[in-house]
Amino acid sequence: MEDLRIKTALQIAKPGKIVFEAIVNPEKMSHYFISEGSDRMEEGKTVNWKFPEFPDMNIEVKVLETKKSEMILFEWEGSKDKILKVEIKLEERPGNQTLVRITESKMPPTEEGIIWLKRNTEGWANFLACLKAYLEYDINLRKGAFEFMKS
């Protein structure tokens, strides 16, 4: 059996440069995904993300490569003690649309891998829905959505 890999995608009705900026700019990202980011996602930087529902949690993201309006590649601890790569590709589509594709990999097909696959697939699908709602409608879908997880 081959290693597990997350793949998800969603089209957003905004040009690639706007979508790219919403992902790499922590000020913009704080309107739909994180509560705070230490810096812009730029090649060679390590940034830290904080989440509103987990104020004591700090996620370290090592940015490996960026191509403006096209791609962001980073590493993070995608599963406990596992450093995984995440690639976000932006594909310009007709009518100022952008298809956002996210791939995270890879884990072995074990119980731990299946738990990671489920949890992070849900997370990336949520990220894309929140990004779309923010960019197209200026709505923060994440606000209050995970309050139940604080207890």
If one compares 98 and 51, the residue with the highest pLDDT of the two is 98
pLDDT tens column, 42-64: 999 999 999 887 778 899 999 99
pLDDT of residue 34: 93
In a domain, 65, yes or no: yes
Mean residue pLDDT across the chain: 94
Q: Is the model's pLDDT at 149 over the cut of 90? A: no
Q: Is residue 137 part of a domain?
A: yes
Higher pLDDT, 76 or 53: 76
- Please report whether residue 90 resides in a domain: yes
The answer to whether residue 78 sits within a structural domain is yes
C-beta neighbour count of 126 within 10 angstroms: 17
Is pLDDT above 90 for 122? yes
Q: Give 68's contacts (C-beta < 8 A, 6+ positions apart).
A: 17, 20
Is the pLDDT score of 150 beyond 90? Answer: no
- Within-domain flag for 134: yes
For the chain, the domain total comes to 1
DSSP state of 106: E
When pLDDT is averaged across residues 107-130 and rounded to a whole number, the result is 96
Q: Quote the domain boundaries for residue 41.
A: 4-146
Average pLDDT over residues 7-17: 98
CATH number at residue 115: 3.30.530.20
Instruction: In whole angstroms, give the CA distance from residue 5 to residue 70.
Output: 21
Asked, for residue 133, whether it belongs to a domain, the answer is yes
The candidate with the shortest Cα–Cα distance to 19, out of 89, 94, 74, is 89
pLDDT at position 151 is 61
144: left (phi over 0), alpha (psi -120 to 50) or beta: left
- Please report the pLDDT score of residue 64 as a whole number: 98
In-domain check, residue 151: no
